Amino acid sequence: MLDVRRMKVLREVAARGSFSAAAESLSFTQSAISQQVAALERETGATLLERGSRGVRLTDAGRALVCHADAILARLDDAEEELAALAGLRGGRLRLASFQSAGATLVPRAVAAFQGRHPEVELSMVEAEPDDAQDRLRSGEIDLALVYDFEPVPGSLGPDLELFGLIDDRYEAVVAKDHRLARRQRLEMADLKDDPWIAS
C-alpha cells in the first residue's frame, strides 16, 4: 500500500517545482524530501519526477499518482474534520424532539447549558409525543428524543433505539373518598385501567 504521507510530499514538490521549495513549505529538510520521493518511486516501481535545469516536473506516472493523491488527501481531510467535530462537538447539528410539558420546563435550561459548552453546534427542536418521536428517530429525521414512559419495559423500543433514564416524575391520582382504591398508598397504572379519567 502506498504511503499517503509520501504522496503528499510528491504533490507538494509538483506544486512548488523544486525540492527546496517543497522542503520549506512542509518544514522538512531538502534531503528528507528527496528520500521520501525516492521511497515512493520504489513503492510504485515508476519514475515520478523528471529533474531538469529549471527544477522538476511530473512524469506521466507522477501526474496520475498526484491526481489520485489529491482525491485521497481531500477525503482524509474531510474524515479528520468530521471526527474532530464528533469528538469535540465543534460543529454539526443536533435535532431534538420533546413532548410539550418537557419542552416548556426541562428543555430550556438544558439547551442553554449545551449551547454554552458547544456554541458551534446548531441545535433545533420539534415537539413530538413519544410514539411520533420514535418514528422520527428511526427515519433519521431527528437525532435525540425526550420521551416519557409510565412503566418502561426493558427492550420495548427494539434493538435500534436505546432508552436512558433521566428523572422519575411523581404522579398522583385523586379519587373520591369512597373509591375502591382510596386507601391505597401506591397505585400502578393497571389499577386504574377501567376507570374514567380526568387528566391534567
Q: Which domain holds residue 66?
A: 4-88
Cell digits of residue 14: 509538483
pTM score of the predicted model: 0.46
Distances 22 to 32, 58, 65, 89 between C-alpha atoms, Å: 10, 14, 17, 34
pLDDT in tens, 27-62: 999 999 999 999 999 999 999 999 887 889 999 999
Domain harbouring 47, CATH code:
1.10.10.10
In a domain, 51, yes or no: yes
Best mean pLDDT range from 110-114, 142-146, 153-157:
142-146
Quick one: pLDDT band at residue 16, thresholds 50, 70, 90?
very high
In a domain, 179, yes or no: no
Give the chain's domain count.
Answer: 2
The angle subtended at Cα 76 by Cα 72 and Cα 82, nearest 5°, is 145
Quick one: pLDDT band at residue 156, thresholds 50, 70, 90?
low
Residue 200 has pLDDT above 60, yes or no: no
Helices 60-88 and 4-16 meet at what angle, rounded to 10?
Answer: 120
33 & 59 share domain: yes
Mean pLDDT of the chain: 84
Residue 136 has pLDDT above 70, yes or no: yes
pLDDT for the residue numbered 192: 82
pLDDT for the residue numbered 168: 72
pLDDT for the residue numbered 37: 93
97 & 165 share domain: yes
Distance CA 88, CA 67 (A): 32
61 & 130 share domain: no
Distances 113 to 76, 101, 108, 159 between C-alpha atoms, Å: 33, 19, 9, 30
pLDDT for the residue numbered 36: 92
Which residue type does 146 have?
L
Q: Are 108 and 79 in contact (CB under 8 A)?
A: no
**Helix, strand or coil for residue 114?**
helix
Residue 154 has pLDDT above 60, yes or no: no
Residue 10 has pLDDT above 90, yes or no: yes
In a domain, 158, yes or no: yes
Quick one: pLDDT band at residue 197, thresholds 50, 70, 90?
confident
pLDDT for the residue numbered 117: 81
pLDDT for the residue numbered 152: 57
Residue 155 has pLDDT above 80, yes or no: no
83 & 97 share domain: no
61 & 124 share domain: no
Quick one: pLDDT band at residue 198, thresholds 50, 70, 90?
confident
